[in-house]
Structure 1
Amino acid sequence: MSVFQHASFYTTVAQLRQLPAPDSVEIAFAGRSNAGKSSAINSLTNRSRLAFVSKTPGRTQNLNFFHLNGGFLVDLPGYGYAKVPPEVRQHWEWLLSTYLQTRESLYGMVLIMDVRHPLTPLDRQMLDWFSPTGKPVHILLTKSDKLSRQQAQKTLSHVRALLQDAYAQCSVQLFSSLTREGVEEAATLLGTWLEKKTSPVHTQC
């Protein structure tokens, strides 16, 4: 049974002092607004509305913790949405950066990218910024159903080649919430992350 099967909402964190005690493994989900992050979380947990899928990008404004069998899934605010007020965006960035760079119980990050627009400048900035932590990153190229099988595989190969040159320790796969392509693959990998009860031997992403 998947460790994501019985996921349940735990808490919303707007300030660092509200973070749960760091005694369980945490996996952060990050990505550009509208890249399909909420849909990916819902697919992995097999729940239609665990993470709210909004037609308005930028809705997630805090760190949302979901309890899993073995740890926590942490839904982070989407980045790159220009219509968010500057003061709100600044708060997101501060909360996001401080959590990702200093949280000891954070094992790794799942980075969501639209397969039609992978490795945008903001995605690369996130990878460059997160690399010093040495923690693993797994990239989900979402909405793979929007491309033909040949196009999707070509994009996957291209992204994988770029990662090998610049971010050799990152992993990547195709993912579709609509067809459920890659759901089992991602759940299996992330399940191994949650089984890490101690800090991993980190290598630079």
Structure 2
Amino acid sequence: MSQINYQLAHFVASYGKVSQIPASTCPEVSFVGRSNVGKSSIMNKIFGRRGLVKVSSTPGKTANVNFFEADGVHFVDLPGYGYAQRSKSERERWGELIGEFFELERSFNLVVSLIDIRHDPSQLDLQMISYLQDAELPFVIALTKADKLSRGRAAQQRAHIARLLGVDNKSLLITSSSDGTGIDELKRIIEAHCLDES
């Protein structure tokens, strides 16, 4: 199987409304998770590009759907959710944006749902996973910030979070944008979902 050249990654466009997003023209990988989960950092690590996906200094500030492209695959950065200091209307807008996006007829080759390995999944995380299961969308759960825990503790947390989410342990991948843990495996999962159909 051929490989994706992630270093070709570049920014394509940003959309504030789902109605603005053009139809899919290639395989797509969507990234979703709470504000502060390290979504931008993980995407930058995958691309091997430090500043391509902007890391906001204000959590929850990104409120658009941002598209990147690498080697004929689109990578979709969805707005982070659950940041308490955003206004209720902004949080509701996020919910509508995410919900409407996943209801589109698109090439949902893979959804990467990110959860901080150090904490129990939030109610919004549980809802997200439940939504992906109900919609029968292919997904993998990337547990971020694993470098903050020992290897043994990370393995314990992975099993614990899998139980809370009601998913198989194999659905959860331990990752770190700091030391690169799990990034190569995540790339292989992305390629398995995107290149087989191309």
| Percent identity for Structure 1 against Structure 2 | 36
SS at match of 1:30: strand
> What is the RMSD of the two structures over their aligned residues, measured on CA atoms?
1.9
SS at match of 1:5: helix
> Counterpart in 1 of 2:192?
192
Counterparts of 1:58 and 1:106, CA distance in 2: 24
Counterparts of 1:183 and 1:5, CA distance in 2: 14
Corresponding pairs, count: 196
> Counterpart in 1 of 2:138?
136
Following superposition of structure 1 onto structure 2, how do residues 16-165 of structure 1 map, counting pairs within 5 Å?
16-163=18-165
Counterparts of 1:38 and 1:150, CA distance in 2: 26
Instruction: Check conservation: 1:136, 1:169, Cα contact below 8 A.
Output: no
How far 1:169 moved relative to its partner? Answer: 9.7
Instruction: Check conservation: 1:30, 1:110, Cα contact below 8 A.
Output: yes
For normalisation by structure 1, the TM-score amounts to: 0.88
For normalisation by structure 2, the TM-score amounts to: 0.90
How far 1:5 moved relative to its partner? Answer: 2.5
Instruction: Check conservation: 1:66, 1:73, Cα contact below 8 A.
Output: yes
Counterparts of 2:92 and 2:189, CA distance in 1: 33
How far 1:86 moved relative to its partner? Answer: 2.4
Gaps of 5+ in 1: 199-205
Seen in structure 2, the aligned counterparts of structure 1 residues 76 and 39 have a Cα distance that, compared at 3 Å, is: same
Counterparts of 1:103 and 1:79, CA distance in 2: 23
Instruction: Check conservation: 2:4, 2:70, Cα contact below 8 A.
Output: no
Counterparts of 2:68 and 2:58, CA distance in 1: 22
How far 1:37 moved relative to its partner? Answer: 0.6
